[in-house]
Amino acid sequence: MAAGTARSSARSGLSSRTSRSSPGFHASWYAIARSEEVAPGQVLGRDFLEGRAIVYRGESGRASVMSAYCRHLGADLGVGKVIGEDVRCAFHHWQYGPDGKCTKIPAADKIPRAARVFKFPTAEKWGLIWAFNGEQPLFEVPEFAGYQEAELEYRTIEAFDLPVEPWVPFTNSMDFQHLRVLHGLKIDFDPKQIQVGDYRIQYDVRFEDPNLGVFDQCIRVTGTNTIALAGKLNGTSVCSMATGTPTPDGRTVGWMVTATPRSEAAPEQRDRQLQVGEAFFKRLIEEDTPVLSTAHFHEGVLIEADRALAMFFQYVKRFPRSRPAVRFD
Ligand code: FES
Ligand SMILES: [Fe+2]
């Protein structure tokens, strides 16, 4: 988004827009690529947060996310080359290790201390490579309530691209009015049982989709940009996760993970469960997209039926923000 159209959130509550003076994005885990997009020995450049980052895999297979611009003259390391566990800049062959420090300068014996790029805390889970927007992670990579990664069969796809900050689509998780009227879900729910922590929100809910049947789900929001539903649809297990990542043009790109326990059903049945879970979440995204693509989203006049949503807005306002890589751009 152009800085000239930015609206400050300081006076009238939350706005979906960021400004030049903004203190960065929420200190959270952001997916940057699907795992299978980055083979061992490969590097990718991505627009990420307020700037640009690279994600690369050393020959050993370990993934690292770092700020993209070489500290020498600013070449984008995304067009460099992986050498062993390092990435080498294409311009003058300065080489950086997975901790971001320069390890080699072909034209010099001594490496300046400032010759380092920012290394984001990096993790890999659910078929995604994640980077934490901060010096140190404040919490774990998002999970489905009650499941370890190894217990689940899952698939991961690109799912959305919206002109808003990442927390905006995730207001959906606490916006019960829209779940009823925009998505047509039948929900009887008391917001009092929502547990709001510093970095996570969780609640159990039963709702009915007129076409699919009854969902009994544990809903977990991790950070402000990931929602994971874990539980049953008509008695069979199905889990869905959506996560969003900001880009410097003011957009949020999103991924979706659909999962089901390996132990529970035959492979064909698991496949069907994954298809149903994926189709359900895709429908929600399709119904939200025209609204979220055009809304001038802000915290406006709220009513009693927005009680849970108001809790989400408070959580978002309290959530720490960070911009650890900005001086490396
Ligand atoms: S710009 Fe990267 S080595 Fe010179
Ligand atoms: Fe929605």
Interval 229-252: pLDDT, tens: 999 999 899 999 999 999 999 999
Q: Is 140 a domain residue?
A: no
Residues 112 and 176 in one domain: no
Question: Within 6 Å (CB) of ligand 1, which residues are found?
Answer: 70, 72-73, 75, 89, 91-92, 94
Which CATH number characterizes residue 85's domain? 2.102.10.10
Q: Please indicate, yes or no, whether residues 291 and 221 belong to a single structural domain of this protein.
A: yes
Of 132, 167, 189, the domain-final residue: 132
Same domain, 155 and 74: no
Give domain status of residue 191, yes or no. yes
**Ligand that comes closest to the CA of residue 104:** 1
Which atom of ligand 1 is found nearest the CA of 70?
2
For residues 229 and 255, state if they share a domain. Answer: yes
pLDDT tens readout for residues 150-184: 999 999 999 999 999 999 999 999 999 999 999 99
Most informative mutation of 54, 67, 72, 88 for ligand 1 (most atoms within 8 A of CB)? 72
Q: Within a domain: residue 35?
A: yes
Residue 25: which of 261, 244, 329 has the closest Cα? Answer: 244
Q: 175 and 112, same structural domain? A: no
Query: Among 91, 106, 132, where does a domain finish?
Result: 132
- pLDDT of the residue at 260: 95
Host domain of residue 236? 149-318
Nearest-atom index, ligand 1, CA of 73: 1
Q: Please give the Cα distance from 229 to 301 (Å, whole number).
A: 29
Does residue 5 carry a pLDDT above 80?
Answer: no
Please indicate, yes or no, whether residues 115 and 164 belong to a single structural domain of this protein.
no
Domain check: are 81 and 230 in the same one? no
Residues 160, 288 share a domain: yes
What ligand 1 atom has the least distance to the C-alpha of 92?
A: 3
Q: Which two tokens stand for residue 269?
A: 């049945």
**Distance, CA 236 to ligand 1 centroid (Å)?**
54
Nearest CA to ligand 1 atom 1: 73
SS3 label, residue 156? strand
* 172 and 232 part of one domain: yes
Q: Is residue 9 domain-resident?
A: no
The answer to whether the beta carbons of residues 160 and 244 sit under 8 Å apart is yes
Pick from 57, 93, 112: nearest CA to 66 = 57
Looking at the structure, tell me whether residues 87 and 159 fall in a common domain: no
Is 323 part of a structural domain of the chain? no
197-217 pLDDT, tens digit each:
999 999 999 999 999 999 999
Closest CA to 171 of 319, 5, 10: 319
Best residue for ligand 1 mutational test, from 69, 88, 89, 111 (most atoms within 8 Å of Cβ): 89
**Per-residue pLDDT at 327:** 87
Index of the ligand 1 atom closest to the CA of residue 80:
2
Is residue 36 within 8 A of residue 157, CB to CB? The reply is no
pLDDT digits (tens, 9 = 90+) for 97-149: 999 999 999 999 999 999 999 999 999 999 999 999 999 999 999 999 999 99
Both 49 and 100 in one domain: the answer is yes
Q: Do the domain assignments include residue 197?
A: yes
Q: What is the CATH number of the domain that holds 233?
A: 3.90.380.10
Considering the domain boundaries, does residue 22 fall inside one? no
End-of-domain residue from the set 79, 100, 132: 132
Expressed in angstroms and rounded, the spacing between residue 172 Cα and the centre of ligand 2 is 5
Q: 187 C-alpha vs ligand 2 centroid, how far in Å? A: 14
For residue 72, report the distance from its CA to the centre of ligand 1, in Å: 5
272-286 pLDDT, tens digit per residue, is 999 999 999 999 999
| Total of domains in the chain | 2
Looking at the CA of residue 93, tell me the nearest atom of ligand 1.
Answer: 3
Compute, in angstroms, the gap from residue 20 CA to the centroid of ligand 1.
28
Q: How far is the CA of 91 from the centre of ligand 1 (A)?
A: 5
pLDDT class of 267 with cuts at 50, 70, 90: confident
Distance between Cα 75 and ligand 1 center (Å): 6
Ligand located closest to 72 CA = 1
Question: How much is the pLDDT for 189?
Answer: 87
How many other CB atoms sit within 10 Å of the CB of residue 196?
Answer: 16
Residue 296: helix, strand or coil by DSSP? coil
Q: How confident is the model at residue 13 (pLDDT cuts 50, 70, 90)?
A: low
Considering the domain architecture, whether residues 195 and 164 belong to the same structural domain is answered as yes
The pTM (predicted TM-score) of the whole model is 0.93
- Residue 104 lies inside a defined structural domain of this protein: yes
Classify 185 in phi/psi space as left (phi over 0), alpha (psi -120 to 50) or beta: beta
User: Which pLDDT does position 310 carry in this prediction?
Assistant: 97
